[in-house]
Amino acid sequence: MIKKPLGRPTDPQARAARRQQIMNGARKCFVQKGFHASGMAMISAEAGVSIANIYQYFETKNDLITALVEEELSNDLAVIQALAEAENFSAGIKIAISRLAEGSDVPAMVQLRLEVLAESFRDPAVAEVVRKGEALTIKALAEILTKAKARGEFTGDFIPEEAAALILAFSDGMLSRLPIGPKPMQELVEPAFSFIAKALGLKQ
C-alpha cells in the first residue's frame, strides 16, 4: 500500500523549484554586494519572493549562504569531472579553460569564489563545507592526473594529489586577479597553460 499523506500534500518539486528561485536571486545579490552587504530585502526583490517566504526554505540568512556555497562548489566539481572525459590531459585543460572563458558570467563566479574563500575564514561552518568540497575536487583532479600519468603524458614525476592541489591553487589565483590584472585574462591563458605544462613536464 502506497502511503497516503494526510493534510495538505506538499509538492516536493514545487518546493525545490522555489528554493532554486531564491538561491538564484541570492546569487545575483551576493555577486554584486557580497554576503554581508546584501540584505534580505534585496534578495527577496531579486528573487521575486517575499522576505518571509525565504524563511520557509532557509532558517537563517547564514543557511542561505551555506546552501549557495555548496551549490557553487558542486559546480566547480562538475567542471573538473567534465575534464575527465577528454582524451588526454592537455585537451582536458583546454576544454576547461574554454568552458570558463566562454561562460557568460565568469566574473560573477570569481566574485562568488572570493566571497566564499573570505567567508570560510570567518564562519567555521562554511569552512567545513568548503573543505569537503575542495577535497572532492582535488581527488577528482588527482584521478585524472593519475590516469594521464599512466598514459605516459608526462615526463616529470609528481604526486597527483599534490599536483592537483597546486593546479587548483594556481587556477584560483589566476581567476581572482581578474579585476586587477593589467592584462585581460585572455592574454594570460596561453602562458598559464604553458606554466602548468612545464611544471608538470607535459610532453610536447
Partner DNA sequence: AATGAATGAGCCTTCATTCAT
Partner DNA sequence: AATGAATGAAGGCTCATTCAT
DSSP secondary structure string for all residues of 79-91? HHHHHTTSSSHHH
Smallest distance from its own copies to CB 199, Å:
4
Smallest distance from DNA to CB 60, Å:
3
Return the bridge partners of 202, or none: 154
Nearest CB to DNA, comparing residues 9 and 182: 9
Smallest distance from DNA to CB 37, Å:
7
Our finding on whether 182 is near DNA (CB under 7 A) is no
Our finding on whether 74 is near DNA (CB under 7 A) is no
Our finding on whether 81 is near DNA (CB under 7 A) is no
Nearest CB to its own copies, comparing residues 85 and 159: 159
Nearest CB to its own copies, comparing residues 6 and 150: 6
Q: Which cell goes with 12?
A: 516536493
CA neighbor of 84 nearest in space, from 171, 143, 169: 143
What Rg do the C-alpha atoms of the chain give, in angstroms?
20
Number of residues that bind DNA (CB under 7 A): 26
Smallest distance from DNA to CB 32, Å:
12
CA atoms of 58 and 19, how far apart (whole Å): 9
- Within 13 A of 24's CA, how many CA atoms are on the CB side? 9
CA angle 85, 88, 89 (to 5 degrees): 95
Residues binding DNA (CB under 7 A) = 6-11, 14-15, 18, 36, 38-42, 49-53, 55-56, 59-62
